Amino acid sequence: MSTAADKDTIIRDLMGFMKTEFPDTGIELTPSTDLLSDWLIDSLGIISTTLFLEEHFGVNVTRADIKAENYQTIENLSNFICKRLSGK
């Protein structure tokens, strides 16, 4: 994924990953779905999501980044990726 990837592409890729990795949660996935309450079920869900972020978008994730502010929703995740890709 190039650093020029726009936010819509990031959101689309994240949605695709979430639906594949955590199938049939019984909840409709939108960019504002609360992933922490309804989707990622436990801490290993965070690990597989992190691996996806690192491998697919090429961003470096540290332990300090594992917080609700970044992982709460697809929207938050995409903001986090955009920030990292733009070098902030």
Partner 1 sequence: MLFSGATCSVDKQLENNRHTRWGLVLAVLAVLLLYAYLFTHIADSFAIPRPAELAKQIGIDIKYVFDRDSNVGTDLHVIYTPPNKRDDQRLILFAIVAGAFLCAYFLPLAYKRPSLVLWFLVAILIIYGIRASAGLLFAHLLIYLSFHPPPLKRSIWQGLLPGALACLAFMEKQASWLWLLLLLLIFSAISLLLVRYLLLPLLQHERAAKIIRTLFVQSALIVVFISAIVEGLQGQTWTLPLGILLFFWHWERLIMYHVDFKDGLVPNDTSLPTYLSIFFSPGGLPNGNWGPSIGLGYNYTQSRFLSVDKNKLIVSGLKLWGIALLYLVFADWFRFLIVGVFNDTGIPVFSGHLKTMSCAYVGSSDISSISVLMTTLLDLMRWLMMWGAIVHFKVGVWRMCGYDIDPFFNKPWLATNLVSFWPRFTFHYREFLVRAFYYPVFFRFFKKHTKTRVVFATVVAVGFGNMIWGHLTEGMFYDGMRFQNFGNVLETWPYFLFLTAGIALTELYLLQKKSRRKPWTRDRYFAMDVLCSYLTLQFFALIHIFAWPCQTATQGDNWLLFLKAFGI
Torsion of the alpha carbons at 54, 41, 21 and 76, rounded to the nearest 10: -50
Alpha-carbon gap, residue 78 to 33, rounded angstroms: 13
Among 60, 86, 87, 88, binds partner 1 (CB under 8 A): 60
- Considering only residues 9 to 38 of the shown chain, the ones binding partner 1 according to CB under 8 A are 19-20, 23-24, 35-37
Of 15, 66, 82, 85, the one binding partner 1 (CB under 8 A) is: 66
Which tokens belong to 61?
């994730």
Angle ∠(84,70,24) on CA atoms, nearest 5? 115
Selected binder of partner 1 within 3, 30, 32, 48 (CB under 8 A):
48
- Site residues for partner 1 per CB under 8 A: 19-20, 23-24, 35-37, 40-44, 46-48, 51, 54-55, 60-64, 66-69, 71-72
